[in-house]
Structure 1
Amino acid sequence: MSDNVIETIGLSKQYDGKGGCKQITLQVPRGSVFGFLGQNGAGKSTFVRTMLGLLHPTAGSATMLGHPIGSVESRRKVGYLPELFRYPDWLTGRQLLKHHGEICGLSKSQRDRVIGEVVEVVGLGGRVDERIRGYSKGMQQRIGLACALLSDPELIFLDEPTSALDPIGRKEVRELIARLRDQGKTIFLNSHLLSEMESVCDYVGIIHRSELVTSGEWRKLSAVKPQVEITIEQATADWHAHLPFVTDQRLLKEREGQATWLVTLDQEGRVPVLLQELVASGAAVHEVVRKQQSLEEVFLYWVQQKERETHVANH
């Protein structure tokens, strides 16, 4: 069994040679949360619909759960919550889930048991017998999540899953995603809400103007060299002048004789050497904090890098 639940090679779906997604090559590891990040219109939803067989690719190839996309086998253990969906609003939540259970091939006893489980998981336990027309946007999002989970899928596609939810609802969805990952499931998230993705994603792919810019463990995608915030006392203003491994430094604040600096190092593992040199020079070190770039900073770096490359190529 492959360690990847999704593998694509040059996958494209374009419309008259434009838009959509173009030449997407990526791997999604099993049991991970993979965030597919991009601005609205970048091609995220087109990629997902192509993977699910709802659109036919114009180029490239892909497998999902070890089977070629477009085959029944590739979709058998897959759940999907689309970004824009409308269910028959005259149905109750339970009736909708029963219909979905029938489509999934669940027996009546299985349906009753599973429906009871998923409505509790998504937080609709007390409202499942109300008609969907009376649901708020957040409740409609929850019933959509319940439909996606009904078949106990191994791979779950969630397209902007928190877009209609309030802060409490978004927190609950993040916690649900973490629980699903802990159960060994793989979650593929489409989103432009980077702050929502940062705490749950293990891996990301960044798509910009239909093309994949980069992918991998997002905390390793930063092109910025390692940085620390260090608070010191009794140090000269040019304490860094004789330290060649300090490639940049910026004074952030001074207070009561203490100075806090943002220090950029040339490579990992330099912090102990930095501390030794400071102490040897007579400085007192009060605090050292490793600075981790945010997902938004990582995203903006790679998008801007792509824009610069495109500008150079066109001029």
Structure 2
Amino acid sequence: MILKTEGLRKTFKVGFWGREVTALEGLDLEVKQGEVFGFLGPNGAGKTTTIKMLMGLIYPTSGQAWLFGRPIGDQESKARLGFLPESPYFYDYLTGLEFLQFYGHLFGLRGVVLGKRIDELLELVGMSHARHLQLRKFSKGMLQRVGIAQALINDPELVVLDEPMSGLDPVGRKEIRDLILRLKESGKTIFFSSHILHDAEVLCDRVAIILKGRQVACGRVSGLIDEGVAHSVEVVIDGLGPEGLARLRQMADRVIVQGTQVLVVLPGRQHVGAVLEIIRGAKATLVSLTPQKGSLEDLFIREVKNKQPELREAV
């Protein structure tokens, strides 16, 4: 197991009277070697707080966490780790080359070994053309890519990225997604946080979802969607009369009439048999019947709705 947490909890004291606020409550995670693991939740859910604890930057109030089987903060584990924070500071007077040389020196890399490593990384992130350009002239996407190169300078086994696609345009997000997939293909384990659910669905083997510091779901993306999201069905019917239409409205999420045709969206497959009976009884024509796959966003919205009363009571 590359990364594991048990009952991880973090509280802070805020305000003049030191009111206790819980940022994270009882987090249990396991990240396996070679997978892309998405740590998902809205802004303020506790994702960055969790990552700071995993990096040894802040200490948990209670619970335990391990990296490579060793307690967090262990120096040997840190040497096998690469990290890009959500809002990294870039020395904007440095060039891309100088920036990576600086971080390479922090890891004890020198000379030909460092030069070769930098060449490989700039090629990997598609930034070879900007090696002599000052960082102040980089776009947001370019900074993010050179930041990931920095996180890889020590050839880590685990790469932790905090909101790597935040603030990027669609092209920049795709570039980062493609880069993460290339890292996985090279054998890296990737742990990244995000509130952009589509990106996570495309990239991740497994995900955990947290809301207001509490874990509400964890597992394989396909499994979570299949178990937690009702798969809607779209049905197109031609020649359905008013009586059949009235019966459909009682079971459908949405009914759209377009001329002689009706588009019906059913909340689940369990209603298909009843709809077919209505069509036969009305002597109408079934034009098409199309199951719709659920998404990670559908699951997330469902979890938010289901957990809202419970979360309000906990605050």
TM (norm. structure 1) is: 0.83
For structure 2, list consecutive stretches of 5 or more residues without a partner in the other structure.
14-19
Deviations 1:12-66 (A, max 9, x none): 2222342432211122233222221222222111101111111122111122233
For structure 1, list consecutive stretches of 5 or more residues without a partner in the other structure.
none
Deviations 1:100-130 (A, max 9, x none): 2232343522221221121122222111112
Contact 2:94–2:134, Cα closer than 8 Å, also in 1 = yes
Pairwise CA distance, 1:133: 2.9
Number of aligned positions between the proteins: 304
Q: CA RMSD in A?
A: 3.0
Question: Which amino acid in 2 is paired with 1:11?
Answer: L
Please give the alpha-carbon distance, in whole angstroms, between the structure 2 residues aligned to 1:58 and 1:312: 22
Question: Which amino acid in 2 is paired with 1:213?
Answer: V
Pairwise CA distance, 1:167: 2.2
Q: Does 1:183 align with 2:186?
A: yes
Deviations 1:185-234 (A, max 9, x none): 22212122334333222322222222222222234334333322122335
Residue in 1 that maps onto 2:61: 58
User: Cα gap change, 1:253/1:96 in structure 2, threshold over 3 Å: closer, same or farther?
Assistant: same
Please give the alpha-carbon distance, in whole angstroms, between the structure 2 residues aligned to 1:240 and 1:38: 40
Q: Does 1:89 align with 2:92?
A: yes
Contact 1:36–1:205, Cα closer than 8 Å, also in 2 = yes
Pairwise CA distance, 1:72: 1.9
User: Cα gap change, 1:280/1:91 in structure 2, threshold over 3 Å: closer, same or farther?
Assistant: same
Contact 2:212–2:311, Cα closer than 8 Å, also in 1 = no
Residue in 2 that maps onto 1:228: 233
User: Cα gap change, 1:62/1:283 in structure 2, threshold over 3 Å: closer, same or farther?
Assistant: farther
Residue in 2 that maps onto 1:10: 7
User: Cα gap change, 1:119/1:284 in structure 2, threshold over 3 Å: closer, same or farther?
Assistant: same
Question: Which amino acid in 2 is paired with 1:6?
Answer: L
Q: Does 1:286 align with 2:287?
A: yes
Match of 2:112 among 109, 113, 117: 109
Q: Does 1:165 align with 2:168?
A: yes
Residue in 1 that maps onto 2:17: none
Pairwise CA distance, 1:251: 4.3
Residue in 2 that maps onto 1:297: 298
Please give the alpha-carbon distance, in whole angstroms, between the structure 2 residues aligned to 1:238 and 1:154: 60
User: Cα gap change, 1:143/1:60 in structure 2, threshold over 3 Å: closer, same or farther?
Assistant: same
TM (norm. structure 2) is: 0.83
Deviates more, 1:257-266 or 1:57-66: 257-266
Contact 1:231–1:285, Cα closer than 8 Å, also in 2 = yes
Contact 1:278–1:285, Cα closer than 8 Å, also in 2 = no
Structural mapping, 1:235-246, within 5 Å? 238=244
